Amino acid sequence: MPIDRELAVEAVEKYVAKPLGITVMDAAFSIWNTVCVNMSDAIRTITSWEGIDPREYTFVSGGGAAGLHMIQMASDLGVEELLIPRFAGSLSAVGGLVADMVADFQRNYYTNSDDFDFEGVKGVLESLEEEAVEFLKKNSILPENRRLEFSVDSH
């Protein structure tokens, strides 16, 4: 369902512009700028983890609205070459077709190191595995193409 433009403007005015004492245009620009900065920071973080300098690459815009953000993001990151294909929205669809299917399943379970409940933890992990395998089966992912990873957060 498309977003009603008037409703969106009213929401920006009511929840952002009025409380800050700014115009709707300034509020909309602030929202847009925040989105651009967040995406630039995400790219900067991911590429630095991989030892990649984005300034050495050409940005290729994908997705229907990416062109609205890519120029600002390229400027933020020092990227000098930018390619916005005529059918950039199609790139997003292609990405969805070729990307790995990933799903996260989680449970909370309390135990402590003084009296660790191995059987309880084992039961939670088995339940998560069953849920994940069922998800993969429903999505026609063949067993040889499946990979399950387990992690634990503890405090």
Confidence band for 1, pLDDT divided at 50, 70 and 90: low
| Tens-place pLDDT, residues 108-139 | 999 999 999 999 999 999 999 999 999 999 99
DSSP 102: -
**Tokens standing for residue 104:** 């996260």
Q: What is the pLDDT of residue 127?
A: 97
Q: What is the 3-class SS of 53-78, one letter each residue?
A: CHHHCEEECCCCCHHHHHHHHHHHHC
User: In this structure, which amino acid lies at residue 148?
Assistant: L
Question: Which residue carries 């059987």 as its tokens?
Answer: 119
- For all residues of the chain together, what is the average pLDDT? 90
92 band by pLDDT with thresholds 50, 70 and 90? confident
What is the Cα–Cα distance from 83 to 25, expressed in whole angstroms? 28
CB 82 within 8 A of CB 70: yes
- What Å distances lie between residue 65 and 9, 18, 70, 78, CA to CA? 18, 27, 9, 21
pTM: 0.59
Percent helix, strand, coil in the chain, to 5, is 60, 5, 35
* Residue-wise pLDDT tens digits, 53-63: 999 999 988 88
- The stretch 43-48 carries a mean pLDDT of 94
The two tokens of residue 34 are 């925040």
Contact (Cβ atoms closer than 8 angstroms) between residue 68 and residue 88? no
User: For the chain, which residues make up each domain, given as ranges?
Assistant: 5-98, 100-155
Return the structure tokens found at 14: 């009511």
